[in-house]
Amino acid sequence: MTVHNIRVGESKRGDASDGALAQTVGGRLSRVDGPAKITGAAKYAVEQQLEGLAYAVLVESTIASGKVRAIDTTAVQAAPGVLQVLTPETIISLKTASDWFGTPPPDKPYCPLARDITFSGQHVAAVVAETFEQAVAAAALVKVSYDETPSIVDLSDGKAGDGIPIDAMTKEWGDAQAAFASAPVRICAAYNTPREYQAPMEPHGLIARWEGDQLTVWEPSQWLDGMARTYAEWFGVPFENVRLVSPYIGGGFGSKALALGHGAVAACAAKMLGRPVRLVMTRPQTFTGYGGRAATRQTVTIGADTQGKIQSIVHRGINETSIDGMWVEPLGSVTSIMYATPNFSSKQNVVRVNSVVPGAMRAPGENPSAFGIESAIDELAYEVGIDPLEIRLRNYAEQDPEAKKAWSTRQLREAFAVGAERFGWARRTPEPRSMRDGNQLIGWGVAAGTYPVRRAYGEAIVRILADGSVEVESSSIDMGQGTYTILAQTAAETVGVHADDVVVKLGDSHFPRAGVAGGSRLAGVMTGAVYKAAISALDQLVGLAISDPRSPFHALQANTLVVANGRIASPRGDGPDVSIAELLKSVGRDHIEATGDTMPANSTAEDRYKNYTTIAMALPHTEGDYSRHSWCAHFIEVRVDEDFGTVRVSRVVSALDSGRLYNPKLAESQWKGGIIMGIGQALLEEGIVDRRHGRIVNNNLADYLVPTNADIPDIEVISVGIPDLHSSVLGGKGVGELAIVGVAPAIANAVFHATGKRIRDLPITLEKLI
Amino acid sequence: MTSLPITLTINGHRHELEVEPRVTLLDALRDRLGLTGTKKGCDHGQCGACTVHVDGERVLACLTLAAQAEGRTVTTIEGLAREGELHPVQAAFLEQDAFQCGYCTTGQIMSAVACIREGHAGSDEEIREYMAGNLCRCGAYPHIVAAVRQAALEVQS
Judge whether A479 is closer than 8 Å to chain B, CB to CB. yes
Residue A389's nearest CA partner among A357, A423, A433 is A423
SS3 state of residue B33:
coil
Distances in Å between the Cα of B30 and the Cα atoms of A49, A284, A484, A621, B157 are: 9, 21, 26, 45, 35
For residues A504 and A486, is the Cβ–Cβ distance under 8 A? no
The string of DSSP letters for A674-735 reads HHHHHHHHHHT--PPBPTTT--BTT-STTTS----GGG---EEEEE-----TTT-SSSB---
pLDDT at A14: 38
Chain B residues touching residue A13 (CB < 8 angstroms): 94
For A664, nearest residue in chain B (alpha carbons): B97
Q: How far apart are CA B107 and CA B50, in angstroms?
A: 6
Residue A765's nearest CA partner among A701, A681, A651 is A681
Identical fold at B4-79 and B88-156? no
Please give the helix or strand (H or E) that residue A77 lies within, else none: helix A74-77
B67 to chain A, minimum CA–CA distance in Å?
15
Chain A residues touching residue B142 (CB < 8 angstroms): 672, 712-715
pLDDT range class, residue A403, cuts 50, 70, 90 = very high
- A298 forms beta bridges with A191, A317
Residue A22 confidence (pLDDT) above 90? no
Strands of A353-478 (E only): list them: 406-407, 436-437, 440-452, 459-465, 470-473
In words, the CATH class of domain B88-156 is mainly alpha
With CB atoms and an 8 Å threshold, state whether A480 touches B99. Answer: yes
pLDDT range class, residue A18, cuts 50, 70, 90 = low
The per-residue pLDDT for range A206-263, each reduced to its tens digit, is 999 999 999 999 999 999 999 999 999 999 999 999 999 999 999 999 999 999 999 9
Q: How many CB pairs under 8 A join A and B?
A: 199
Q: What is the pTM of this model?
A: 0.97
Chain A residues touching residue B80 (CB < 8 angstroms): 39
The per-residue pLDDT for range A589-614, each reduced to its tens digit, is 999 999 999 998 899 999 999 999 99
For A32, nearest residue in chain B (alpha carbons): B94
The per-residue pLDDT for range A311-327, each reduced to its tens digit, is 999 999 999 999 999 99
Classify residue A31 by its DSSP letter. P
Tell me the domain boundaries of chain B. 4-79, 88-156
B36, B137, B143, B149, best to mutate vs chain A, most A CBs in 10 Å: B137
The rounded Cα A410 to chain-centroid distance in angstroms is 22
Distances in Å between the Cα of A646 and the Cα atoms of A8, A375, A640, A753, A763 are: 45, 20, 6, 15, 12
With CB atoms and an 8 Å threshold, state whether B91 touches A14. Answer: yes
β-pairing, A459-465 vs A94-95, is unpaired
Chain A residues touching residue B141 (CB < 8 angstroms): 676, 707-709, 712
Chain A residues touching residue B106 (CB < 8 angstroms): 37-38, 40
ipTM of the complex: 0.98
Strands of A546-664 (E only): list them: 562-564, 567-569, 577-579, 591-597, 626-627, 629-641, 647-657
User: String of b and e for A651-674 (b: at least 16 CB within 10 Å)?
Assistant: bbbbbbbbbbbbbbbbbbbbbbbb
Residue A9 confidence (pLDDT) above 80? no
B20-28 average pLDDT score: 98
**Residue type, position A392, single letter:** R
B130 to chain A, minimum CA–CA distance in Å?
8
pLDDT at A15: 43
Residue A208's nearest CA partner among A234, A187, A184 is A234
HSE-CB of A541 using CA atoms within 13 angstroms: 39
Residue A6 confidence (pLDDT) above 80? no
For A699, nearest residue in chain B (alpha carbons): B42
Residue A160's nearest CA partner among A297, A61, A35 is A297
What residues of A are annotated to the active site?
737
Chain A residues touching residue B17 (CB < 8 angstroms): none
Q: At what angle do helices A664-683 and B141-156 cross, to 10 degrees?
A: 120
Classify residue A559 by its DSSP letter. S
Judge whether A604 is closer than 8 Å to chain B, CB to CB. no
B71-93 average pLDDT score: 95
With CB atoms and an 8 Å threshold, state whether B145 touches A709. Answer: yes
Q: What is the CATH number of domain A296-454+622-768?
A: 3.30.365.10
Q: How far apart are CA A658 and CA A584, in angstroms?
A: 39
**Residue type, position A227, single letter:** M
CATH (one of 1.10.600.10, 3.30.365.10, 1.10.150.570, 3.40.225.10) for A47-150+200-287: 3.30.365.10
Percent of residues, chain A, with pLDDT higher than 70: 97
Residue A3 confidence (pLDDT) above 50? no
For residues A353 and A160, is the Cβ–Cβ distance under 8 A? yes
- Nearest 5°: the CA angle A733, A738, A740 is 165
Residue A510 confidence (pLDDT) above 50? yes
A237 to chain B, minimum CA–CA distance in Å?
31
Please identify among residues 270-309 of chain A the ones whose CB lies closer than 8 Å to any CB of chain B: 280, 282-283
pLDDT range class, residue A197, cuts 50, 70, 90 = very high
pLDDT at A575: 87
Q: How far apart are CA A492 and CA A413, in angstroms?
A: 35
Give me the architecture of the A8-42+456-613 domain, per CATH: 2-Layer Sandwich (3.30)
Which stretches of B63-139 are DSSP H helices?
Answer: 88-95, 105-117, 124-130
By the 10 Å C-beta count (0-12 exposed, 13-18 middle, 19+ buried), A70 is classed as exposed
Higher pLDDT, A122 or A555: A122
Q: How far apart are CA B79 and CA B81, in angstroms?
A: 6
A305 to chain B, minimum CA–CA distance in Å?
41
Chain A residues touching residue B100 (CB < 8 angstroms): 251, 479-482, 669-670, 673
Chain A residues touching residue B138 (CB < 8 angstroms): 201, 251, 480, 669, 673
Q: What are phi and psi of A365, to 5 degrees?
A: 90, -70
Rg (C-alpha) for chain A, rounded Å, is 27
Q: Can you say whether the dihedral through the CA atoms of A592, A661, A249, B29 is positive or negative? A: negative
Q: Provide the 10 A C-beta neighbour count for residue A560.
A: 11
B29 to chain A, minimum CA–CA distance in Å?
11
The per-residue pLDDT for range A44-87, each reduced to its tens digit, is 999 999 999 999 999 999 999 999 999 999 999 999 999 999 99
For B1, nearest residue in chain A (alpha carbons): A80
Distances in Å between the Cα of B146 and the Cα atoms of A425, A651, B156 are: 26, 16, 16
B71 to chain A, minimum CA–CA distance in Å?
23
With CB atoms and an 8 Å threshold, state whether B103 touches A200. Answer: yes
Mean pLDDT (chain A) is 95
For A8, nearest residue in chain B (alpha carbons): B94
The string of DSSP letters for A126-181 reads EEEESSHHHHHHHHTT-EEEEEE-----STTSTT--S-EE-GGG-EEES-HHHHHH
Domain with CATH 3.30.365.10 in chain A: 8-42+456-613, 47-150+200-287, 296-454+622-768
Q: How far apart are CA A442 and CA A432, in angstroms?
A: 9
With CB atoms and an 8 Å threshold, state whether A33 touches B128. Answer: no
- Nearest 5°: the CA angle A756, A757, A758 is 120
Per CATH, domain B4-79 is 3.10.20.30: yes
The per-residue pLDDT for range A712-744, each reduced to its tens digit, is 999 999 999 999 999 999 999 999 999 999 999
Q: Which of A30, A199, A280 sits opposite B95 (nearest CB)?
A: A30
Residue A76's nearest CA partner among A9, A16, A144 is A144
Q: How far apart are CA A756 and CA A369, in angstroms?
A: 23
HSE-CB of A206 using CA atoms within 13 angstroms: 31
Q: Which of A34, A41, A481 sits opposite B94 (nearest CB)?
A: A34
